Structure 1
């Protein structure tokens, strides 16, 4: 897939040019593709209400272990505009048992669980060894394929091995790199393979030019936006807890990098949501 021919030079983007005074609602509803609602200092109902006031119609809350995955699945079942991803995070993959993986597989079969993740590899931290992480990741790839759910990948300092294992196992039809952290070359590899890249608030950081270069290289139909809340808070709120209602800051910076109108980017994100998860904005 070709890079968007209308994209402007991302080196010309000043993240501080985005209006710092207010979160202006988006003109076309999108969704938060990756959030940890269980970690926020507000109720789920408040988080959803605030998000929808900002043009964020739905939230995907993500599990990282069995308790948080069970919470995510239950919360999605209880709230119309909340969906869930379930998995064992690579940092939690030490000696993960077959029984634990079967619990995740069972949760993944629930109707409002639309993703298997976040799974993947994290070589930045050493909470779990590489062998344990890779075994767990391979198992999650199999669960995603068996259930038909999207695979949501945590990839930190492990690009080569993540791509290799996807090739070895045979990637699911729907793959998302959460909080995409690769460069433009990595973005082009993902584009060639049809992998979706989800960008978080760190794309707005002053020192994130390589990430903006990657965004510029990513096709419009392979882009999502997320918070990873309460982490990755976008400029101008960096340093405060993140939440879904702050996504408009990220989206507007992304649209500027891509050289498209905000409503066009939102429409593309919503279409990708329908394709991957069965819902859009």
Structure 2
């Protein structure tokens, strides 16, 4: 990677209304301590990204994100075991996830789902873990945050078979317009990452054009998926602002309208306190 790509993108102009980064990985962004988290969130807030949901992918990460959510009032957490890590998802791990999922500042069960791109865990193990996480979300009364990579039909089928929780978020939505319509009709929420800004993502961009306000979120999935024109550079929560502006251009709607829409949807879905910029 070139030195230029290793540089963080510049912090953009502050958004006209505050937004929530609905899916990030603060630990993978290099944060270890409360001071590290504060630096990341201060930088995000300077761009108008005032709160984040930091997401776990294994038990150790789940413990960390729950702790991090208590260090800074701008941080909330989601816990689960990532589908690529479910090969040995045993009773001890399930017990640990359930205990952490009940923590006050955990606002979702996730990211869980199916990933058929990588072969780290067999499909049967992934599907069994996914069904368990669906049940957990319903038992603890929190939204389900889905990871879906090359597995659209099985994800939708299992949600239907198990009965979806009241709130379902498709993290880093990657489907086409038909998939988006099926999700919208089911009442699911689609979260768009920096991939929606990529010029070669025409199918995804088509999906983002028609999803109703109230059924979409914006996320970074940092440190991955940095928005255009900084693709390949390190991502951070402040880069949510780039995606918000790009989405506004794509939908031909005012930036403030998009910012308000994604914040209000995040507040509703994740049961966050309602805030506005005063």
| TM-score with structure 1 setting the length | 0.91
Match of 2:26 in 1: 37
Tell me which residue corresponds to 1:278: 271
2:39 — aligned with what?
46
1:167 aligns with 2:167: no
CA contact 2:109–2:137 (8 Å) conserved in 1: yes
Instruction: Measure, in 2, the Cα distance between the counterparts of 1:111 and 1:144.
Output: 14
1:28 aligns with 2:21: no
Counterpart for residue 139 of structure 1: 132
Superposed CA offset, 1:193-249 (max 9, x none): 010000001111110111100101211110100000000000122111100111111
Structure 2 CA distance for aligned equivalents of residues 275 and 22 of structure 1: 27
Q: 1:21 to 1:86 in 2, by over 3 A?
A: closer
* Aligned equivalents of 1:174, 1:133: Cα separation in 2: 21
Q: Distance in 2 between matches of 1:81 and 1:41?
A: 17
2:169 partner SS: strand
Residues of 2 paired with 1:216 and 1:180: CA distance?
13
Query: Counterpart in 2 of 1:116?
Result: 109
Whether 1:264 aligns to 2:253 is no
Deviation at 1:268, TM superposition (A): 1.0
1:67 is aligned to 60
Distance in structure 2 (CA, Å) of the matches to 1:221 and 1:202:
20
Moved over 4 A (4+): none
For residue 37 of structure 1, give the secondary structure of its aligned residue in structure 2.
coil
Secondary structure of residue in 2 paired with 1:228: coil
Residue in 1 that maps onto 2:5 = none
- Asked whether 1:197 is paired with 2:190, we answer yes
Pairwise CA distance, 1:21: 7.4
| Aligned position for 2:235 | 242
Q: Which residue of 1 aligns with 2:6?
A: none
Distance in 2 (alpha carbons) for counterparts of 1:143 and 1:254: 33
* CA deviation vs aligned residue, 1:41-98 (integer Å, no higher than 9, x gap): 3521110000000000101100000000010011102211100000000000003112
Pick closer, same or farther for the CA change 1:21–1:110 going to 2, 3 Å: closer
Which residue of structure 2 lines up, in the alignment, with residue 5 of structure 1?
A: none
Flag structure 1 segments of 5+ consecutive residues without an equivalent: 1-19
Checking the alignment, whether the CA contact within 8 Å between 2:11 and 2:43 is kept in structure 1 is no
Matched residue SS, 1:238: coil
245, 251, 262: which one pairs with 1:252? 245
Structure 1 vs Structure 2 CA RMSD: 1.2
Q: Distance in 1 between matches of 2:251 and 2:144?
A: 25
The runs of 5 or more residues in structure 2 that have no matched partner are: 1-8
Structure 2 distance, partners of 1:239, 1:256, is: 22
| Counterpart Cα distance in 1 of 2:10 and 2:84 | 37
